[in-house]
């Protein structure tokens, strides 16, 4: 259990050799879920995108494909993830369309009201307090800006709750939990989607 626990715990903050192994699997392992979540986006022609907890960088890349004239800022607090996401999006970075930064969602160190769209895929499980972090996302979004959360877990599925019991600091949230925290942070027009056969959820809110 020791090695297994150490490995799965890398989902929280990938570090070292095990962290690199974890991040290498994230892009492919979460692709179908991420694409399902993105299919619900109805944001038109955003200029500035923010991908929080960007992991291996695949979703940042897909969002830039979806919005080919937008500029992407991708943030993660893991050095390993920042390195992987930077390599994955090297062409976009070289072309001046993307930057990958190390950062903390509870203190993003980004300008007020800059972004039209902020996204969070498979990451809020590890955020240090939803209200605090959602309020920070609210701060950096423009008025009418959109915040999208996509999770593999609906907070009730047995597999994810098992991981929650193993991984320190992990919390699986229900749609109701997320909606409540989003509204308390000031967001409006909250819409939620639950996959018809999987525990995947998407929550989309507007500032």
- Is 197 within a domain? no
Q: How many domains does the chain have?
A: 1
Instruction: Locate the DSSP E strands across 7-165.
Output: 48-52, 71-76, 98-102, 115-121, 141-151
- pLDDT at 6 > cutoff 80: no
Q: Could you read off the pLDDT of 124-138 as tens digits, one per residue? A: 999 999 999 999 999
Q: What is the rounded average pLDDT of the residues 68-74?
A: 98
Mean pLDDT across the chain: 90
Task: Kindly state whether residue 192 falls inside one of the protein's structural domains.
Answer: no
- Residue 63 phi/psi, 5° resolution? -65, -35
pLDDT at 166: 77
Output 62 or 159, whichever has higher pLDDT: 62
- Flag whether 81 is in a domain: yes
**Pick from 188, 44, 62: which is nearest to 204 by CA?**
188
**pLDDT at residue 8, rounded to an integer:** 44
Asked if residue 184 has pLDDT above 90, the reply is: yes
Q: Please, are residues 134 and 148 in contact by the beta-carbon 8 Å criterion?
A: no
Please determine, for residue 1, whether its predicted confidence score (pLDDT) is greater than 50.
no
Helices (H), 89-155: 90-94, 130-140
In a domain, 166, yes or no: no
Q: 144 or 159, which is more confident? A: 144
Per-residue model confidence (pLDDT) at position 164: 81
The whole domain housing 73 covers 2-121+132-144
Per-residue model confidence as pLDDT tens digits over 11-61:
555 556 544 555 666 677 689 999 999 999 999 999 999 999 999 999 999
CATH code for the domain in which residue 33 is found? 3.40.50.150
Report pLDDT for 19: 47
Tokens of 156: 């009730």
Exposed e or buried b per residue across 36-59, where buried means at least 16 C-beta atoms within 10 angstroms of its C-beta: ebbeebebeebebbbbbbbbbbbb
Residue 89 has pLDDT above 50, yes or no: yes
In a domain, 181, yes or no: no
pLDDT at residue 102 above 80?
yes
Distance from first CA to last CA of the chain, Å, rounded? 43
- With beta carbons less than 8 A apart as the criterion, state whether 133 and 127 touch: yes
Confidence category of residue 69, pLDDT binned at 50, 70, 90: very high
């Amino acid at each position: 259990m020791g090695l297994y626990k150490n490995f799965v715990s890398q989902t929280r903050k990938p570090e070292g050799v095990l962290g690199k192994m974890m991040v290498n699997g994230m892009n492919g392992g979460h692709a179908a879920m991420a694409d399902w979540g993105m299919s619900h986006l109805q944001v038109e022609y955003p200029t500035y995108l923010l991908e929080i907890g960007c992991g291996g960088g695949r979703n940042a890349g897909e969002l830039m494909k979806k919005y080919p004239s937008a500029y992407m800022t991708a943030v993660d607090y893991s050095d390993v993830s920042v390195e992987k996401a930077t390599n994955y999006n090297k062409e976009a970075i070289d072309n001046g369309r993307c930057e990958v930064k190390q950062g903390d969602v509870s203190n993003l160190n980004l300008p007020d009201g800059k972004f039209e769209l902020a996204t969070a895929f498979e990451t809020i499980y590890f955020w240090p307090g939803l209200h605090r972090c959602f309020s920070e996302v609210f701060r950096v979004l423009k008025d009418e800006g959109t915040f999208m959360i996509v999770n593999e877990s609906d907070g009730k599925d047995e597999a994810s709750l098992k991981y929650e019991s193993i991984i320190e600091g992990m919390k699986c949230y229900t749609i109701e939990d997320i909606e409540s925290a989003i509204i308390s942070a000031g967001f409006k027009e909250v819409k939620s989607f639950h996959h018809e056969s999987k525990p995947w959820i998407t929550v989309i809110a507007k500032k």
